[in-house]
Amino acid sequence: MTKLAHISIAIMLILFSISDSRANGCPIGAPGSSDVCVLITDVEQDGTSVTFHGYGGGYNNGNPLDFSHRLNWYSNENGYLGTGKSITVDLDLGAHQISAAWGYPGASYKASKNIFVREKYCAYEQASLAETIDEVYSIDFHNKESVPAKVFWLTYSGERMHYATLQPGERLKQNGYPGNQWLVTDNHEQCIQVMSTGYYNAGYDIHFEH
């Protein structure tokens, strides 16, 4: 292989590293720098089962790094969770501060994220009834949170049917027959509250810990 080919490959590797780092949101500088960062790139929640994805990389004295597979994950409630670019764990219910960390003597890098773990299904989720089809009443859902919330109708067979995703401050005035069941969840579709259409128009302000 010619010297020019070696140089071309080296340039391509550097550009790939810069592109990959920037694609993950890392503030990476020019080759020759020692810019390194750790990011929590995504969190997937399914009840108490939570999957974390992370990225760690950059440059160390000009050498491209990707140490994502060596990230150590911690919860302030459950302690050490595991090591890897992606991990899936069962967490206790409630608030957690999650950390992804990597380091060596004299240097350490960490990213943190707060999450709230709740049951996916409410214990009192049940199929809708239509006590009468001659009367219709409404529930006015108002998202008072700073994050999205979802509204589902619980069908007559008890399945969740998505009706709306309410952004912060948004409202949904939903009509139904008395006995219809409505479920409010967080953006991960974990249970917040079940509401039932009654024989009157009602309002429900959405609040939850997150």
**pLDDT tens column, 39-84:** 999 999 999 999 999 999 887 777 778 899 999 999 999 999 999 9
What are the two backbone dihedrals, phi and then psi, of residue 16, each rounded to the nearest 5 degrees?
-65, -40
- 137-206 has which fold? Immunoglobulin-like (2.60.40)
Residue ranges in the chain modelled with pLDDT below 50: 3-23
Helix or strand or coil: residue 80?
Answer: strand
What confidence score (pLDDT) does residue 142 get? Answer: 97
CA distance 164 to 174: 10
What confidence score (pLDDT) does residue 25 get? Answer: 54
What confidence score (pLDDT) does residue 108 get? Answer: 80
Instruction: Indicate the CATH number for domain 3-117.
Output: 2.60.40
CA distance 95 to 118: 9
What confidence score (pLDDT) does residue 31 get? Answer: 54
* Residue range(s) in the chain whose domain bears CATH number 2.60.40.780: 137-206
Identify the residue whose tokens are 């960490």. 110
CB burial string 18-51: b at 16+ within 10 A, e below: beebeebebebeeeeeeebbbbbbeeebebeebe
The model scores a pTM over 0.85: no
Identify the residue whose tokens are 């009157």. 200
DSSP character for 70?
Answer: G
